[in-house]
Amino acid sequence: MPFACIFVPNFSVEALLRAEPELRLLAMAVLEGKAPLQKVLAVNERARQAGIETGMAKLQVETCPEIALRACSLLQESAAHAALLDCAQSFSPRVEDAASDTLLLDLAGLEPLLGPVPKIAREIARSASDLGLESNVAVASNPDTALLAARGFSGITVIAEGKEAEQLGSLPVEVMSGNATAGENERDAAQILETLRRWGVRNLRALAALPEIALSERLGQTGVRLQQLARGTVSRNLVPVEPPLIFEEAVELEYPLVLLEPLAFLLGRLLEQLCDRLAARALATQELRLKLELENGYRRDDDDMPLAYEDPRPRTIIFQRTLRLPVPLLDSRTFLKLLQLDLKTHPPGAPIIKIHLAAEPVRPRAAQNGLFLPPSPQPEKLEITLAKIMGIVGEDKVGSLQLLDTHRPEGFCMQRFAPDKPFSPQRHPSATLRASSGTEKNHSHCSAQLSSMSRGEFNADPSADLVTALRIFRPPGRVSVTLRNGVPSFIDCAKHPAARGDVLWAAGPWRSSGDWWEKEGWARDEWDIAVQQNAAIAFYRLVRDLLSGRWFLEGEYD
């Protein structure tokens, strides 16, 4: 039963390099502590070659030219650890979270699926590298041997069963320091390793060769266990973890961002990382949440502003935007474009010092286009197009219509346009809407008509008459009306100069009212009128608001 171990050397450095991959070509040191007592916590290989070691003061390090100094970021370390877990989970469901930089995997049953063990190890290393983490991968017959090999050997190591002691022999005993798998008190293990050093035991081969009973007499069970580890004979069960499906990435900025372009650059990187993690779990997202921490942001003093709220910490404002998509997507470029367009429309208003991006995971869209179905816009393209159009005309002016179950004028609302819903025969137009032809209809019948229209059941009869459409004037124009025997005989609308003159023909009134039991009651009389307009005759709908007694020109029949 093979086990694999993924170990990320210099984890704090790798976590920062994951956010800033361009620093891989430079010497880099990670600092911890508060100024001016900052010390080097970790360095990369180039910095080590330049003579920088852990524990050096910041002042000493700064003498080295062309070195990148970064503060230790727990936020990015946790994000890197989550990414590492995603990588491991994409290969095996049984993963043990040994440490923040170390994961153990059970590879049992993977060979028929993914190929021989060395190939699986290479795939694991490549997958971790794709997520921005350069790691060591070792495969052995037991987890502890794999862990020691991953910590001791760089790159990919495959230890055959029965050859554990031989291959681990060359490793120094220090690889067992801080070994969580030892299961013992770290202080005891450190003392024992110090004792071993004083005895002259430098590597695991020497430790494995010590007589077991004499070792037990001098170092107790901890010493015996360490010897078993060195021999590669410890066998134990994995303790699998079930990591929650949380996909979040964050970055703390050293300098506040003022422009959209560098912000888009960072957002693009975070989105790529998120998409890689989601892809590793075979998931997509339908909701992106962007949280920006602003520096000295101006306080929007409106209580109606849900976008920004005051953080308990002083002088910071949290700015949030949520991007909801009609279909699950997994394209970082699309997300970036949508976020860019959204931020252009809703700018945060202050310099940004911290970016936090989270994705809500959902199953990817399983769509199979039919051969005989008409083509429809690609969801990614459509979303970007809609976002651009919203930037031009406004958010509330783009979308699809939804009729409301009311007789109130303008009884509709706009909703998000999502044409990619699966086709269902029930939705296909089947009911026939009978038009009222002059005679009064009872209220219940009209209500049934309207509710059937609200449900999307429309006239599908090709031989049906063409419907006389009304063009609504928004907002309706105030009109002065001269009545003769209670019937409009002359109208004058300042807003629509064409609608001025004698009424050639008038029909009505069509009286309607509603919601009288509510605060927002309404009552109106509708008239259909014909007015001479140049050489032609135009038909209008004239409305009298019974509550205010005013006349309005509501629309034009066309």
Partner 1 sequence: MSSLLVCASSPTEFPLAFSGKKDRGLLLERLSAMPKLAAVKPASRLEARPTPEMVTSGIRELDELSGGLPRGCLAQICGPASSGRTSILLAALATATQRQEVCALVDVSNALDPLSAAAAGVDFEKLLWVRCGMSTVPFDGLRSLRAGSGGTRNSSTSDYPAIPSLCENDSSAPSGLDHFPLATYGLRRGLHSLAATRLKSRRVSDCKGKFCGTNSLAPDKKKKCAEDRLQQALRVTDLLLHSGGFGLVAIDLGDIPFKEARRIPLTSWFRFQRAVEHTPTVLLVMTQEPLAQSCAALLLKLGASRKKLPAFSSQPSGALPSHAQLLERLHIEGELLRSRLQRKPAGSAKAVLSTKAIRIG
Residues 340-359 that bind partner 1 (CB under 8 A): 343-344, 346-352
Q: Write the DSSP assignment of 185-224 as a string of letters.
A: -HHHHHHHHHHHHHHT--BHHHHHHS-HHHHHHHHHHHHH
Please identify, using beta-carbon distances, which residue of 108 and 464 lies nearer to partner 1. Answer: 464
DSSP helix/strand/coil, 140: strand
* Given 240, 243, 364, 409, the residue binding partner 1 (CB under 8 A): 409
Listed ranges 121-129, 244-252, 280-288, 463-471: which one lies at the site for partner 1 (CB under 8 A): 463-471
Which of 516, 511, 506, 519 is closest to 545 using CA atoms?
511
Q: How far is the CB of 268 from partner 1 (least distance, A)?
A: 16
Q: How far is the CB of 458 from partner 1 (least distance, A)?
A: 4
* Given 114, 238, 403, 490, the residue binding partner 1 (CB under 8 A): 403
* Given 108, 259, 282, 494, the residue binding partner 1 (CB under 8 A): 259
83 touches partner 1 (CB under 8 A): no
473 touches partner 1 (CB under 8 A): yes
* Given 257, 317, 338, 339, the residue binding partner 1 (CB under 8 A): 257
Please identify, using beta-carbon distances, which residue of 247 and 473 lies nearer to partner 1. Answer: 473
Residues touching partner 1, count (CB under 8 A): 126
Give yes or no for a contact between 215 and 227, defined as CB atoms under 8 angstroms apart: yes
* Given 393, 425, 442, 549, the residue binding partner 1 (CB under 8 A): 393
What does DSSP say about strands 470-484 and 550-557: parallel, antiparallel, or unpaired? antiparallel
Cα 350 to Cα 169, 295, 482, 531: the distances in Å are 58, 7, 57, 56
Q: How far is the CB of 409 from partner 1 (least distance, A)?
A: 7
Give yes or no for a contact between 96 and 240, defined as CB atoms under 8 angstroms apart: yes
Q: How far is the CB of 122 from partner 1 (least distance, A)?
A: 41
Query: Which run of H or of E encompasses 545?
Result: strand 536-545
E strands, 59-207, are 67-71, 95-99, 102-106, 136-140, 156-158
* Given 93, 178, 377, 501, the residue binding partner 1 (CB under 8 A): 377
* Given 320, 395, 492, 500, the residue binding partner 1 (CB under 8 A): 395
- Cβ neighbours, 10 Å, residue 544: 21
According to DSSP, the residues that pair with 492 across neighbouring strands are: 480, 500
* Given 459, 490, 492, 500, the residue binding partner 1 (CB under 8 A): 459
- What is the spatial distance between Cα 410 and Cα 511, in angstroms, rounded to a whole number? 16
368 touches partner 1 (CB under 8 A): no
Q: Whose structure tokens read 């032609």?
A: 536
- CA angle 86-92-96, nearest 5°? 75
250 touches partner 1 (CB under 8 A): no
Give yes or no for a contact between 171 and 136, defined as CB atoms under 8 angstroms apart: no
Site for partner 1 in 260-279 (CB under 8 A): 260-261, 263
Listed ranges 173-181, 241-249, 267-275, 455-463: which one lies at the site for partner 1 (CB under 8 A): 455-463
Listed ranges 5-13, 241-249, 271-279, 451-459: which one lies at the site for partner 1 (CB under 8 A): 451-459
Please identify, using beta-carbon distances, which residue of 79 and 290 lies nearer to partner 1. Answer: 290
- What is the spatial distance between Cα 495 and Cα 336, in angstroms, rounded to a whole number? 44
400 touches partner 1 (CB under 8 A): yes
Q: How far is the CB of 16 from partner 1 (least distance, A)?
A: 25
Site for partner 1 in 165-224 (CB under 8 A): none
| Helical axes 332-345 vs 379-393, angle rounded to 10° | 10
97 touches partner 1 (CB under 8 A): no
- What is the spatial distance between Cα 3 and Cα 92, in angstroms, rounded to a whole number? 10
Please identify, using beta-carbon distances, which residue of 100 and 320 lies nearer to partner 1. Answer: 320
Site for partner 1 in 426-445 (CB under 8 A): 427-429, 433, 435-438
- CA angle 67-70-74, nearest 5°? 155
Site for partner 1 in 484-513 (CB under 8 A): 486-487, 498, 504-510, 512
* Given 109, 178, 412, 502, the residue binding partner 1 (CB under 8 A): 412
Please identify, using beta-carbon distances, which residue of 153 and 539 lies nearer to partner 1. Answer: 539
Please identify, using beta-carbon distances, which residue of 243 and 508 lies nearer to partner 1. Answer: 508
Query: Which run of H or of E encompasses 484?
Result: strand 470-484
398 touches partner 1 (CB under 8 A): yes
Cα 454 to Cα 46, 303, 466, 514, 521: the distances in Å are 68, 35, 20, 18, 21
Which of 263, 394, 262, 283 is closest to 329 using CA atoms?
283
* Given 126, 305, 501, 502, the residue binding partner 1 (CB under 8 A): 305
Site for partner 1 in 314-343 (CB under 8 A): 343
DSSP helix/strand/coil, 182: helix
